């Protein structure tokens, strides 16, 4: 049973403001490199990119944890949600490693990409968490598109629809005779769920910014009124 209708699965979010456009632009640049390097080698693409996709949840979770400690306040479920996302992405990796073995060059690429991406995302989340969540959400939109391409290649018999790996059958509770296509379908739904969660987190941070701005404005107005009353 699918968690998404076709429309809900493929929906794209129009950037709202400068920071959203920056986040989308960063994702589009990464997509150009991924398309150039992997082309239609979807198994390899999944292995390498899932090593990157599993980073933001762990970074965001750790930084939200530290923030909750600093401010001594409830995290409203953010930490678990983000750590679950990282764990889910790692399971994508553990599944696709049964389908495609990365080349020696790809293994080197994974190490360098992790070093670069972990630090860059950490800095982004530290100084601009809203943009960081929007960036991940746009990345997940691209992941949905990539897995749709994977499905199309399987349906066109460009890739062999092999039996699903055991690890995937156990994790997603798939039927014993499930095939790779069934795995790609559930993975794609996971990516759509990450997309929606990260857009929602970015929206929540936007609302908090607006509320803070409104509060500061009303405090300034109240102070101005109090001064007028004293002068009068
Ligand atoms: Fe993934
Ligand atoms: Fe994802």
pLDDT, mean of residues 170-193 = 98
Instruction: Give the C-alpha separation, 55 to 92, whole Å.
Output: 13
Q: What's the CATH architecture for 17-231?
A: Up-down Bundle (1.20)
Determine the pLDDT at residue 163.
98
Instruction: Give the C-alpha separation, 202 to 131, whole Å.
Output: 7
β-sheet bridge partners, residue 75: none
The runs of H, that is alpha helices, within 5-103 are: 6-10, 18-38, 42-53, 55-71, 78-96
Query: 217: CA distance to ligand 1 center in Å?
Result: 42
Query: 88: CA distance to ligand 2 center in Å?
Result: 8
Whole-number average pLDDT of the chain: 95
pTM of the shown model: 0.91
Query: 90: CA distance to ligand 1 center in Å?
Result: 8
Query: 219: CA distance to ligand 2 center in Å?
Result: 41
Determine the pLDDT at residue 213.
82
Determine the pLDDT at residue 214.
82
What CA–CA distances, in Å, run from 123 to 63, 80, 105, 198, 206?
11, 21, 27, 17, 19
Query: pLDDT by residue (tens digit) across 15-30?
Result: 999 999 999 999 999 9
Task: Provide the CA 76 distance to its chain's centre, in angstroms.
Answer: 19
Instruction: Give the C-alpha separation, 164 to 98, whole Å.
Output: 9
pLDDT-derived band at 166 (thresholds 50, 70, 90) equals very high
Determine the pLDDT at residue 230.
80
pLDDT-derived band at 212 (thresholds 50, 70, 90) equals confident
């Amino acid at each position: 049973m699918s968690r998404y209708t076709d429309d809900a699965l493929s929906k794209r979010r129009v950037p709202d403001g400068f920071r959203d456009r920056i986040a989308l632009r960063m994702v589009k640049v990464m997509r150009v490199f991924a398309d150039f390097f992997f082309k239609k080698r979807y198994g390899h693409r999944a292995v390498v990119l899932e090593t990157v996709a599993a980073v933001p949840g762990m970074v965001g979770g750790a930084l939200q944890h530290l923030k909750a400690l600093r401010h001594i306040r409830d995290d409203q479920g953010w930490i678990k949600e983000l750590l679950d996302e990282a764990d889910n992405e790692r399971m994508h990796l553990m599944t696709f490693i049964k389908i495609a073995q990365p080349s020696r060059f790809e293994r080197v690429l994974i190490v360098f990409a992790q070093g670069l991406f972990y630090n860059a995302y950490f800095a982004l989340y530290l100084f601009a968490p809203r943009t960081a969540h929007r960036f991940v959400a746009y990345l997940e939109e691209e992941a949905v598109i990539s897995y749709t391409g994977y499905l199309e290649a399987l349906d066109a018999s460009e890739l062999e629809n092999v039996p699903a790996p055991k690890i995937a059958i156990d994790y997603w509770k798939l039927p014993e005779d499930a095939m790779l296509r069934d795995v790609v379908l559930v993975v794609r739904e996971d990516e759509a769920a990450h997309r929606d969660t990260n857009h929602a987190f970015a929206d929540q941070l936007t609302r908090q910014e607006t509320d803070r701005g409104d509060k500061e404005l009303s405090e300034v107005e109240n102070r101005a009124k109090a001064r007028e009353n004293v002068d009068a």
